[in-house]
Amino acid sequence: MRPHFLLIFLTVLLAANAPADEGMWTLDNPPLGRLKASYGFAPTQEWLDHLRLSSTRLSDGGSGSFVSPRGLLLTNHHVAASQLQSLSNAKRDYMKDGFYAATLAEERKSPDLEVTVLISMEDVSSRIRAALKPGLSQAEAQKARRAVMADVERESLKATGLHSECVTLYSGGEYWLYRYKKYTDVRLVFAPERQVAFFGGDSDNFTYPRHDLDMALFRVYEDGKPLETRHYLKWNPAGAKAGELVLVAGHPGSTSRLNTMRQLERDRSEYAKYLDLWRDQLRLLRQYAARGPEQERQAGEEIFGLENSIKSVEGSLQGLKDPNLMAKKQRDETEFRALIRANADWQKELGGAWDAIVLAETRAAARFDQQLYRPFNSRIYQFALQIVRLVAEVKKPDQERLPGFHESQMESLRYQLSSPAPIYPELEIVKLAGSLERLTQHLGAQDPYAAAALAGRTAQEAARALVTGSTLADLAARKALIDGGEVSVAASTDPMIVLARKLDPIGRENYRWMEDNVRSVRSTAGEQIGKARFLAYGKSAYPDATFTLRLAYGTVKGYPMNGTVAQPMTTFYGLFDRAAGFGFAGAWALPSRWMEATRRLDLSTPLNFVLSADIIGGNSGSPVVNRAGELVGLIFDGNIESLPGEFIYDEERNRAVAVHPAAMLEALRKLYGASRVVSELVRTKP
Amino acid sequence: MRPHFLLIFLTVLLAANAPADEGMWTLDNPPLGRLKASYGFAPTQEWLDHLRLSSTRLSDGGSGSFVSPRGLLLTNHHVAASQLQSLSNAKRDYMKDGFYAATLAEERKSPDLEVTVLISMEDVSSRIRAALKPGLSQAEAQKARRAVMADVERESLKATGLHSECVTLYSGGEYWLYRYKKYTDVRLVFAPERQVAFFGGDSDNFTYPRHDLDMALFRVYEDGKPLETRHYLKWNPAGAKAGELVLVAGHPGSTSRLNTMRQLERDRSEYAKYLDLWRDQLRLLRQYAARGPEQERQAGEEIFGLENSIKSVEGSLQGLKDPNLMAKKQRDETEFRALIRANADWQKELGGAWDAIVLAETRAAARFDQQLYRPFNSRIYQFALQIVRLVAEVKKPDQERLPGFHESQMESLRYQLSSPAPIYPELEIVKLAGSLERLTQHLGAQDPYAAAALAGRTAQEAARALVTGSTLADLAARKALIDGGEVSVAASTDPMIVLARKLDPIGRENYRWMEDNVRSVRSTAGEQIGKARFLAYGKSAYPDATFTLRLAYGTVKGYPMNGTVAQPMTTFYGLFDRAAGFGFAGAWALPSRWMEATRRLDLSTPLNFVLSADIIGGNSGSPVVNRAGELVGLIFDGNIESLPGEFIYDEERNRAVAVHPAAMLEALRKLYGASRVVSELVRTKP
């Protein structure tokens, strides 16, 4: 499970009716009343701060936590997969074989992973709102909003040195400034074989009972040395127990629980198109992988990512097609709007928001196919476009720049542009040719993007010429262009740069059009609906997910499943049962290390478990802690019943799936001989 | 899983469209063409005869097979459960502790189990039809049908000494005479603990993945000695393999695939009422069981039976409420009726059958509540009613007797009336009082059944007086009454006999009314629809299940389940995983013998597996055989997706669940020390 950011955002906010374990709570507004009422648990501010400062966000789209005073960081194998893939080559395949650094010196620097820790949160709603002077058109207000956010972020960065982000919560009901400490020297310490980390493959993904050792360990360095930190989670080797209250700190990517009905309808239509697109991309990647083992290795992580997104969005789409779910959403919206309508002042100020959204979404639908099919599926082209824009944007006042090019974002942008992660030309050609074929098919060969890229050639010819003619796979070439600035970029004959120069103005026009006609309306309407919600229900609820730190909580417990009850935990017994049940073949084959060492393992060791905490993609790698704040699990998935969780939380059947610490220790000790790491993890054992 | 005979009977008979593995085929019409086409398998007549003669029907509602030349019979623990319960008492509990006869002498006679083997099948359609002279009213035709069937059965019994039954196939499209060899000296040899035989309890029942050692062994005796037979299935210790063709010989109880739409609607309404009734019965039984361990033991098997029926009928009802299923059924019926309508002769002779069924079912609905609530849930009362009727019926010509009292049925009736199985008065009181309360609630205290039983008392008082005042729990008392004939019964002051004498005339009037107004119409219409089906589609299909021997076939294979794929097999690993996953508690606790011996077992031994063969309740205990005719599995359940199988077969997801022979051997050898039985099973190993 990883976040997918295609999605937008409204919830079943009736606090009185909300299920006890629902919610992804911001750390400024933790659910203290609910925890006290449901579980008799009252965490102190110190407890909350320690958990926050022990939790991390990973730039590859997941979460993690510090688990030792020397910067050891625990996350999922599938969150680490992009780095594992980049560190592998034809001769050494860390995805297939796993990795363990027996000494500190052997720890391997990840090419482009950024790890951030949330240091502070500040409510900047009044400053943002103050910038939205009365009398501005919606488009002008949108510009003003962007500008003041850039100011806030830049000023904060300058004042604190911390990475600073404005976060829109409650669909614009509140704006916050989040400040992060960022680490970029992040080294790989341990990863098991993909076959046991992702046991059961795409079939078992998003399901339960599950049997995956979906873990990886990095170490965060500062100034070339392991990070010294007192904020880490103590490892509880006994781990989570059935019936126990547990809490989750992580970064859920995106939910759409506060969406209006019109936005849910939009999602339903757009998701179906995304699925078609992704299935086509997946088909091409599988064809590529079928060429040979090295091609299979190169495409492996992207295939996983696409399969994961497809299964996740299929689940969301099923929710959007579920008459019960949609009827509930409609009832909630009808009741909410009736409450607003019942107060003439509220209705006058805020009641128009829903119709405004209808307008914005109708406009957006007219350009949706362009948004979907024009982006080229090519890492090299993305570099080219970023470089063309970077050299132009840096010369502008910060307030006026495109998103992604603000002062506060420059460090990460330059870091990502200088990633040494390998790029495989033949794979790039397959992906880009696929983009060009779909583009031509859906928008026609006369579409300016298609015409510019194809220039009379077939998609295959064009893709090959563009990829093989470009030097941008080489990070030195990228650096030279960036350092040369606008002059170098204007003079470049690199075909990818040439293409990006030609298409950039069209992209900018589209950005402007979306800002003025769609996003500005959404922003204003979102702020109105956010305010309306506070007026109608108070701030008794949580905002939709925004890939920012949230606290969720729940009980380790099974649920009704397919005629029976899902067990709260699985064990190594279950891993071997499922492998044997499929004849140790395909996605259920086990690494030889595991086949040989069965007898050495305590098979009754808990492997995975389910909890009712409310999570979603982006929570991958989140720590699960007990009342003492000790690590008792590692989130890595949700069950299939949780996929409509994008829109609604169902306490009866929505479950997060976590790796149990006992299984991690048992495997590290008995199968991987990872005594160095084990002693680091458990020396601080309570 | 066990049969429930509440149900009636129409299938997706379009042979061309029928899924390859669909069908419960009579042995006179085995699916040779399909087996050849799908699997390249052409069983000989000798192969089929041997399988038939090795297969058995058990009077407790299941199937079984001979697995040694000395009469050893394999069935399910849950088919044996009624006998195990009857053989147990407060001091020895075979359900809880299991049973193993270390020597032949220790094998324990079952109180009232009858085992039958299908010796021959004869098409008697023309004789039955000849008795239905032109010009008879439907009611007269029904009497004539009953009479000629009684003749056929009695004559066959007299001529062959074999138990003889007329079987109505294809809803009356054909009538067959089945002759059985019957055995009543059936001794218990082995049963495991209920906790491992029915591991996971009601929760896991009708689900998969499953982990049950649902087996029991009896031995059939003849003349006081183990039956010598050359018709038994050789035990294949390697058992079924994923992907393999396997065949099932067993006795599916009842399906409703040939039902008309009107009958499906009736089922939908009736099932909901049955469920209410059973849930109330279950509630009372659980209250009784909660009184103490001995009460829990006494009620155990009945609680299992009710839970099983409830879950099964809930699944059927879900099918009847599934718009897709019902739309498919409607399309099939519309197409079928259009084919008949397209031929003027067919339409004239047969086209009225559907409307006739509408009429019959509308009539039946008017008396349904009586049918449901009047029968008293009391074994003693059932004895009393059978005795009152027996002494009257035996004096009548065979043709005129009530069903169940014909000459051909007398032996079984007397055998069951002389069962030494214990009856627990307090449990009888609870069950009977429950009946009386529901009867009063639904039909009123003035209903003649209620008035006669209550006689001014409360339900509790009446039940207690009736049960404690009766001597019929004692088999000697029953025998004395039967031997004394009409005079003794007329003179009896046993309150159960007094009550049965009073209610018998009302029951007989109701029987007559149902015969004349409902069943006669159903029979005639059923014969017409059966004929219409042969005309429209030919005899390319199988008849609905009738608790007679059928051949099914399919592949050992998984299926799509809850977002992933169900594994073809489970292993002992899975048993321990599921037990550990629930903390070895509740329905997932394991017997101490199993807990202590984990290390001794080869945990990779296959335990249960799924196959696409088309089965239903009554198939419990059916042997699964390979192409060589060897035993490779033991049917004991269907998955939850198979429950709508009463109405429709879905090859994608409908699966039978079987115990694997390797697990049976592994447990017999390593946990039960059953060397005597093991050597008998595998000495003839191929």
| Residue B454, token pair as written in the block | 């209550």
Kindly state the average pLDDT of the residues B410-424.
Answer: 95
pLDDT at B512 over 90: yes
Best of B577, B588, B594 to disrupt the A interface by mutation (most A CBs within 10 Å)?
A: B577
Q: Which of B223, B132, B145 is nearest to B183 (CA)?
A: B223
DSSP, res B105: G
Q: Which residue has the tokens 């957006």?
A: A364
Backbone conformation region of residue B232, classed left if phi is above 0, alpha if psi is from -120 to 50, else beta? beta
A156 touches chain B (CB under 8 A): no
For the stretch A571-607, pLDDT in tens is: 999 999 999 999 999 999 999 999 998 889 999 999 9
Which residues in chain B are contacts of A580 at CB distance < 8 A? 569, 571, 573, 604, 606
Confidence band, pLDDT 50/70/90 cuts, at residue B539: confident
Q: Both tokens of residue A372?
A: 């979907």
Q: Tell me, what's the pLDDT at A58?
A: 98
Q: What stretch of H or E contains B225?
A: strand B225-226
In residues, how long is chain B?
686
For residue B206, list chain A residues with Cβ-Cβ distance below 8 A: 563
Query: What's the whole-number average pLDDT of chain A?
Result: 95
Task: Categorize the per-residue pLDDT at A444 as very low, low, confident or very high, splitting at 50, 70 and 90.
Answer: very high
Mark yes or no for CB contact B311/A563 under 8 Å.
yes
Is A557 within 8 Å of A612 (Cβ atoms)? Answer: yes
* Residue of B411, B615, B582, B541 whose CA lies nearest to B2: B615
For residues B96 and B304, give the distance between their C-alpha atoms in angstroms, rounded to a whole number: 13
CB atoms within 10 A of CB A35: 20
CB contact under 8 A, A569 and B576: no
Q: What is the pLDDT of residue A244?
A: 97
> Which pLDDT value is given to residue B1?
38
The whole-number pLDDT of residue A12 equals: 32
Site from A317, A318, A573, A610 to mutate, B interface, most B CB atoms within 10 angstroms:
A573
Residue A3's pLDDT band, with cuts at 50, 70 and 90, is very low
Provide the pLDDT for residue B16.
Answer: 40
Q: What is the pLDDT of residue A13?
A: 34
* pLDDT value of position B66: 98
The pLDDT value recorded for residue B538 is: 86
Distance of residue A604 Cα from the nearest chain B Cα, in angstroms: 7
Tell whether A569 lies on the interface with B, counting CB pairs under 8 A.
yes
3-state secondary structure B439-480: HHHHHCCCCHHHHHHHCCCCHHHHHHHHHHHCCCCCHHHHHH
Mean of the pLDDT values across residues A221-230?
Answer: 98
Residue A627 predicted with pLDDT over 50: yes
**B419-424: average pLDDT:** 95
Half-sphere exposure of A478 (CA within 13 A, CB side): 22
Distance CA A462, CA A460 (A): 6
Q: Residue B79 and residue B99: Cα distance in Å, rounded?
A: 15
Residue A598: the pLDDT is: 87
Would you state the pLDDT for residue B3? 39
Distance (Å) from the C-alpha of residue B206 to the closest C-alpha of chain A?
A: 7
CA distance A686 to chain B (A): 24
Q: In terms of pTM, does the model score above 0.90?
A: yes
Average the pLDDT over A217-225 and give the result. Answer: 98
User: Which residue of B311, B562, B577 is in closest CB contact with A570?
Assistant: B577
Contact across the interface for A206 and B577, Cβ inside 8 Å: no
| Spatial CA neighbour of B497 closest among B508, B486, B506 | B486
Neighbours of A302 (CB within 10 A): 20
Instruction: Check if CATH label 2.40.10.120 holds for domain B5-114+184-257+547-682.
Output: yes
What's the confidence (pLDDT) of residue B65? 98
Q: What strands, in cross-sheet order, belong to the sheet with B569-571?
A: B25-26, B550-555, B245-250, B623-625, B631-638, B656-659, B606-611, B569-571
CA separation for the pair B58, B620 (Å, rounded): 10
A219 pairs with which residues across the strands?
A72, A187
Mean pLDDT of B261-275: 97
User: Would you state the pLDDT for residue B685?
Assistant: 43
Q: What is the DSSP letter of A641?
A: G
Q: Is the pLDDT of residue A154 over 50?
A: yes
What one-character-per-residue DSSP string does A4-17 give?
A: -TT--------TTT
Q: Determine how β-strand A55-58 pairs with β-strand A115-123.
A: antiparallel
> Tell me: the pLDDT tens digits for B548-594?
999 999 999 999 999 999 999 999 999 999 999 999 999 999 999 99
**pLDDT digit string, tens, across residues A175-186:** 999 999 999 999
Provide the pLDDT confidence category of residue A320 given band limits of 50, 70 and 90: very high
CA distance B146 to B553: 34
Over 70: is that where the pLDDT of B295 sits? Answer: yes
- Outline where A124-229 has alpha helix (H): 125-131, 138-160, 194-197, 201-204
Could you tell me the pLDDT band of residue A539, with boundaries at 50, 70 and 90?
confident
Report whether the peptide linkage leading into residue A209 is cis, meaning its omega lies within 30 degrees of zero.
Answer: yes
Q: Give the C-alpha separation, B93 to B84, whole Å.
A: 8
| Amino acid making up residue A653 | R
Measured between beta carbons, the chain A residues lying within 8 angstroms of B209 are 577, 581
Residue B587 is given by DSSP the state G
| Among A203, A561, A571, beta carbon nearest to B565 | A203
Say which residue the tokens 């009107």 belong to: B262
Angstroms from B257 CA to nearest CA on chain A:
23
Could you tell me the pLDDT band of residue A14, with boundaries at 50, 70 and 90? very low
Q: Judge whether residue A240 has pLDDT over 70.
A: yes
pLDDT digit string, tens, across residues B193-250: 999 999 999 999 999 999 999 999 999 999 999 999 999 999 999 999 999 999 999 9
Query: What percent of chain B clears pLDDT 90, i.e. is strictly above it?
Result: 95
Q: Where does the pLDDT of residue B683 fall: very low under 50, low under 70, confident under 90, or very high at 90 and above? A: confident
CB contact under 8 A, A581 and B574: yes
Please say if the pLDDT value at position B2 is more than 60: no
CB B606 within 8 A of CB B660: yes
Angle CA(A48)–CA(A638)–CA(A215) in degrees, nearest 5?
Answer: 70
Nearest CA to A98 out of A677, A682, A681, A603 is that of A677
For residue B602, give Cα distances in angstroms to A577, A598, B13, B666, B671: 12, 12, 45, 8, 11
pLDDT at B9 over 60: no
Would you state the pLDDT for residue A122? Answer: 98
By C-alpha distance, which of B6, B532, B108, B28 is closest to B312?
A: B6
Each residue's pLDDT tens digit, B125-164: 999 999 999 999 999 999 999 999 999 999 999 999 999 9
**What's the pLDDT score for residue A36?**
94
Query: Which among A204, A562, A577 has CB closest to B577?
Result: A577
List, edge to edge, every strand of the sheet that includes A569-571.
A25-26, A550-555, A245-250, A623-625, A631-638, A656-659, A606-611, A569-571
List beta partners, residue B217: B74, B190
Is A594 in the B-facing interface, judged by CB distances under 8 Å? no
Q: Note whether B564 contacts A242, CB cutoff 8 Å.
A: no
Q: Please list, in sequence order, all residues whose beta carbon lies within 8 angstroms of the beta carbon of residue A155, skipping any fewer than 6 positions away.
A: none
Task: Report d(CA A337, CA A343) in Å as an integer.
Answer: 10
* The token pair that represents B190 in the structure block: 């082995």
Supply the ipTM of this predicted assembly. 0.92
Whether pLDDT at B13 is above 80: no
Question: Whole-angstrom Cα distance, residue B145 to residue B161?
Answer: 23
Q: CB distance B573–A569 less than 8 Å?
A: no
> In chain A, whose CA is at the least distance from the CA of B206?
A563
pLDDT of residue A541: 86
Summarize pLDDT for A607-620 with one digit per residue, the tens. Answer: 999 999 999 999 99
Summary mean pLDDT of chain B = 95
- Tens of pLDDT, residues A15-25: 344 447 999 99
E strands present in B184-224: 186-191, 216-222
> In the predicted model, is pLDDT for residue B6 greater than 50?
no
pLDDT in tens, A123-143: 999 999 999 999 999 999 999
Residue B319 in tokens: 């099918």
What is the structure's pLDDT at B598? Answer: 87
Note the pLDDT tens digit of each residue in A381-427: 999 999 999 999 999 999 999 999 999 999 999 999 999 999 999 99
The answer on pLDDT for A1 being more than 50 is no
What pLDDT score does A20 carry?
75
Task: Please choose, from the candidates B256, B358, B333, the residue with its C-alpha nearest in 3D space to the C-alpha of residue B14.
Answer: B333
State the Cα–Cα distance between residues B619 and A230, nearest whole angstrom: 64
